[in-house]
């Protein structure tokens, strides 16, 4: 599975769920970012939600907008399209300007 649907439960944390019930999605990025859990929606407008749109596919996920993660060690900026990560040129790691499949979420 390339994208694992999870539901955030207040006071408990993230719990595995069916994709129809997902409030978040866990990805395993093939970069210094590693595992990443993002808030998602599968329909409607993302305006003012802080969520990424997700196509609902766990094997070939597509998310919008781009994903930017930064720390004092690295910058990772990418798009996820059909289960493939397109790393943009402003990444500070060796995958900048490359396209790589998402890793399985374990």
Verdict on whether the full-model pTM lies above 0.85? yes
Q: Distance (Å, rounded) from C-alpha 40 to C-alpha 79?
A: 15
- Structural domain of 33: 3-101
Count of structural domains, the chain: 1
- The phi, psi pair for 11, rounded to 5°, reads 85, -10
Q: Are 86 and 97 in contact (CB under 8 A)?
A: no
Residue 106 lies in a domain: no
Residue 69 lies in a domain: yes
- Over residues 46-85, the pLDDT tens digits come to 888 899 999 999 999 999 999 999 999 999 999 999 999 9
């Amino acid at each position: 599975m390339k994208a694992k649907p999870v539901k955030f439960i207040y006071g408990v944390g993230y719990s595995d769920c069916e994709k129809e019930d997902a409030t978040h999605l866990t990805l395993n990025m093939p970069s210094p970012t590693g595992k990443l859990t993002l808030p998602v929606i599968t329909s409607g407008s993302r305006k003012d939600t802080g969520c990424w749109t997700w196509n609902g596919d766990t094997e070939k996920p597509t998310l919008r907008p781009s994903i930017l993660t930064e720390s004092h060690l690295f910058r990772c900026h990418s798009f996820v399209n059909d289960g493939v990560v397109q790393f943009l040129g402003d990444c500070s790691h060796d995958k900048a300007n490359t396209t790589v499949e998402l890793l399985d979420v374990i």
